[in-house]
Amino acid sequence: MHQEKPQTIANSKTLELAKSAIVAALYVALTVVLAPFSYGAIQVRIAEMFNFLPLYNKRYIWAVTVGVFISNLFSQVGPIDLVVGTLSTLFVLLINVKVTENMKSMKQKMAVSTIICAVSMFTIAAELTFVAGLPFFYSWLTIGVGEFIAMAIGSVIIYTIGKKIDLTK
């Protein structure tokens, strides 16, 4: 007689979903709590550090994307931010994973991802130019620098956490 092994939460989809939900919730909480720094033409959205998590496990692409979508519900920019900000995040995370997939060093992956994320802020600059009439290149510069700062700070935090906790699982 063959007995089936009971499924535990450790190997279930439920655990994966829970981990993703926690990341999305943390993204939203950090963004909203630090709202004065998280939105606008000059921003340092510290929650962007979660952009590194897909480098450890692709499941976090959706977690971070959902976190951005929910956070952008609180944006002053309006519904366009839900579309542009969210899709920009999704595409940048996919690009980061693809570009860094053959790199061995997490530090190298993070450095490359930081640059890609900072440069990608042209999408948000274009959005602010369209919606608020802000100057494109100035907005791209300020948002890009803010993104670079957030990612640089976040790289230290996520890398340190990744040394203590296996983020690949």
The whole-angstrom separation of Cα 167 and Cα 169 is 5
* Percent of the chain whose predicted confidence (pLDDT) is above 90: 89
The predicted structure's pLDDT at residue 58: 96
- The answer to the question of residue 168 being in a domain is no
Tens digit of pLDDT for each residue in 31-45? 999 999 999 999 999
Q: How many domains does the chain have?
A: 1
- The answer to the question of residue 60 being in a domain is yes
The predicted structure's pLDDT at residue 4: 57
Angle between helices 79-100 and 60-72 (to 10 degrees): 160
Q: By the 8 A CB rule, do 103 and 112 touch?
A: yes
Full residue range of the structural domain in which residue 142 is found: 15-162
Nearest 5 degrees, angle CA 109-CA 57-CA 82? 90
Q: 3-class DSSP state for residue 138?
A: helix
Dihedral sign, Cα of residue 142, residue 146, residue 151, residue 153: positive
- The answer to the question of residue 64 being in a domain is yes
| CATH at residue 127 | 1.10.1760
The predicted structure's pLDDT at residue 12: 84
Tokens representing residue 46 in the block: 């510290």
- pLDDT above 60 (res 150): yes
- The answer to the question of residue 43 being in a domain is yes
Tens digit of pLDDT for each residue in 43-100? 999 999 999 999 999 999 999 999 999 999 999 998 999 999 999 999 999 999 999 9
The whole-angstrom separation of Cα 156 and Cα 113 is 13
Rounded mean pLDDT of the chain? Answer: 94
Reference 63, options 107, 93, 33; nearest CA is 93
Nearest 5 degrees, angle CA 68-CA 74-CA 75? 85
- pTM here? 0.92
- The answer to the question of residue 140 being in a domain is yes
Largest CA distance in the chain: 73
Q: 3-class DSSP state for residue 18?
A: helix
The whole-angstrom separation of Cα 20 and Cα 6 is 24
- The answer to the question of residue 7 being in a domain is no
